[in-house]
Amino acid sequence: MVKKKEMRRSFPIISVALIGCLLAISFVLPPGSAQARNIKVGIIDCYSGPAAVYGKDALNGFKLALSEINKEGVLGRKIEWTKRDTKFKVDIALNMAKELVMREDVDVIVGTINSGAAMAVSAAIAKKEKVPFITWISKSERITGEKGHRYVFSCGENTAMGGKAGGVALSKRPYVKYWIAGDDYEYGHALANAAWRNLKALKPDVKLIGESWWKPGEPDLIPYITAILAAKPDAVIFCTGGRSMTNIMKAVKATGMEKKVPIWIHTATDHAVLKPLGAEAPEGVLGTMDYHFYYPDTKANKEFVKKFVAAYGGPPGFPAFHGYITAYFIAEAFKKAGSVDKEKFIDALEGMKIESPVGEIEMRQCDHQVVLPMFLGVTKREVGKNFVISTDIVTLTGDEVMPTCDEIKKARKK
């Protein structure tokens, strides 16, 4: 009993002494030891399954940029990264993002190709835990549109931009009767809505004569094409992504559809789609992209491609470009913020402009969406190349293809 009483009396004294010691240590230790902590970026993306090809490319672009950035460092530190495989699943992406924030204590989260996962992480982790989240391949316009908030940014083009680019391009052509078809998921429908909304606004007499939707990755698209051709539309808008892109291009070529009816497919001119098809890719298909390794033909782009090829043995795709600019936005924002503080980082990133392989690009302040130009082109096989490329490229500036800040405000109020 006596011992217990003594312990109770001495407990406050020991506690005060311990706190005093800790304070003393913190004063004695040089400030450099606190600065030694590197800036930590947590990556959530798909590294297994069909979408892995995009995840890997984005990561390579990000790694290449970091190898350049870390030579000088940022605020006397290096930027380090750790990645988690979401397996294209929303629940896994959420768990991984949570783990990165809680256990790894990351300063920024980046990823992912899955729009559903991106929106879930944006709402449940980034907004709730107040951690900046930068998406780099997911294309749903809702991420920085109606579901946007202070803690989410996008370093890639989205369905609003792709759809508007398609709408603008098609409005200048004489077609009236349209058929829309595509993958029956968020990306397909969002792209279709954006393309049709803009086309209808620019050319009110256009008419939608039919729609068809298939499951993403559907291997046999011949029946869909046969039905579309039977309806005799003036032009067709295909809203497909990922591996469905190769499937639709193959089906178009097999049926000779490209010779019978004009077709617009956002990302039809993507090298990741065209390269495996080789000479088998259909020519004359209208497509839009925000990056080509061969366009724009500028010194900055050539240098980026040269470095990428030297590091990874092949040219960069659009995900690599997005990964590359994401790393530079992160580095520059921390430099501007002057400290590894998440709120200051966000303030710095808003409205920031950086130089990129496609010229100067801006992280728009009003919606945290990167302003990127879109390259409208037509698939064509050039002499001496064993794959099809985008030709007759017309550049649509970011301002031309992006929703205005007022439109974003309206969408967020809904």
How far, rounded to the nearest angstrom, does the alpha carbon of residue 148 sit from its chain's CA centroid?
A: 14
Can you name the residues that pair with 363 across neighbouring β-strands? 370
Of 215 and 409, nearer to another protein (C-beta) is 215
Among 75, 202, 209, 311, the residue binding another protein under the rule CB under 8 A is: 209
Among 29, 201, 222, 300, the residue binding another protein under the rule CB under 8 A is: 222
Among 112, 198, 247, 326, the residue binding another protein under the rule CB under 8 A is: 247
Residue 15 interacting with another protein (CB under 8 A): no
Instruction: Find, among 326, 324, 311, the residue nearest to 370 by Cα.
Output: 326
CA–CA dist 198, 167 (Å, integer):
5
Residue 246 interacting with another protein (CB under 8 A): yes
In sequence order, the 6+-apart residues with CB closer than 8 A to the CB of 135 are 110, 111, 112, 118, 122, 143, 152, 153, 154, 155, 156
Cis peptide before 319 (omega within 30 of 0): no
Residue 50 interacting with another protein (CB under 8 A): yes
Residue 261 interacting with another protein (CB under 8 A): no
* Least separation in angstroms between CB 321 and another protein: 17
> What's the CA dihedral at 289, 292, 296, 300 to 10 degrees?
130
Residue 231 interacting with another protein (CB under 8 A): yes
Of 79 and 181, nearer to another protein (C-beta) is 181
* Least separation in angstroms between CB 301 and another protein: 22
Among 165, 273, 320, 396, the residue binding another protein under the rule CB under 8 A is: 273
What are the structure tokens assigned to 372, written together? Answer: 């990127």
Of 61 and 398, nearer to another protein (C-beta) is 61
Residue 280 interacting with another protein (CB under 8 A): yes
* Least separation in angstroms between CB 348 and another protein: 35
From the list 224-232, 301-309, 330-338, 392-400, the region that binds another protein by CB under 8 A is 224-232
* Least separation in angstroms between CB 229 and another protein: 6
In sequence order, the 6+-apart residues with CB closer than 8 A to the CB of 91 are none
CA–CA dist 401, 214 (Å, integer):
27
Of 210 and 262, nearer to another protein (C-beta) is 210
Residue 276 interacting with another protein (CB under 8 A): yes
Residue 311 interacting with another protein (CB under 8 A): no
Residue 48 interacting with another protein (CB under 8 A): yes
* Least separation in angstroms between CB 291 and another protein: 18
Residue 214 interacting with another protein (CB under 8 A): yes
Among 245, 325, 327, 352, the residue binding another protein under the rule CB under 8 A is: 245
Neighbour-count burial of 404, counting CB atoms closer than 10 A to its CB (0-12 exposed, 13-18 middle, 19+ buried): exposed
Of 219 and 359, nearer to another protein (C-beta) is 219
Q: How far is CA 341 from CA 75, 131, 174, 337, 344, in A?
A: 12, 10, 53, 8, 5
* Least separation in angstroms between CB 67 and another protein: 22
Would strands 359-363 and 370-371 be described as parallel, antiparallel, or unpaired? antiparallel
Instruction: Find, among 297, 319, 290, the residue nearest to 377 by Cα.
Output: 290
CA–CA dist 51, 243 (Å, integer):
8
Of 152 and 249, nearer to another protein (C-beta) is 249
In sequence order, the 6+-apart residues with CB closer than 8 A to the CB of 221 are 214, 247, 248, 251
Residue 18 interacting with another protein (CB under 8 A): no
Residue 213 interacting with another protein (CB under 8 A): yes
Residue 223 interacting with another protein (CB under 8 A): yes
From the list 163-171, 205-213, 374-382, 394-402, the region that binds another protein by CB under 8 A is 205-213
Would strands 388-396 and 374-381 be described as parallel, antiparallel, or unpaired? antiparallel
> What is the number of alpha carbons within 13 Å of residue 66 lying toward its C-beta?
21
Of 220 and 406, nearer to another protein (C-beta) is 220
Among 108, 160, 257, 285, the residue binding another protein under the rule CB under 8 A is: 257
Cβ neighbours of 153 (radius 10 Å): 31
Beta strands in 4-69 (DSSP E): 39-45
Among 272, 311, 371, 394, the residue binding another protein under the rule CB under 8 A is: 272
Residue 211 interacting with another protein (CB under 8 A): yes
Q: What is the DSSP string of 347-387?
A: HHHTT-EEEETTEEEEE-TTT-BEE--EEEEEEEEPTT-SS
Which parts of this chain interact with another protein (CB under 8 A)? 47-50, 52-53, 55-56, 181, 184, 209-215, 217, 219-220, 222-224, 226-227, 229-231, 243-247, 250-251, 254-257, 260, 272-273, 276-280
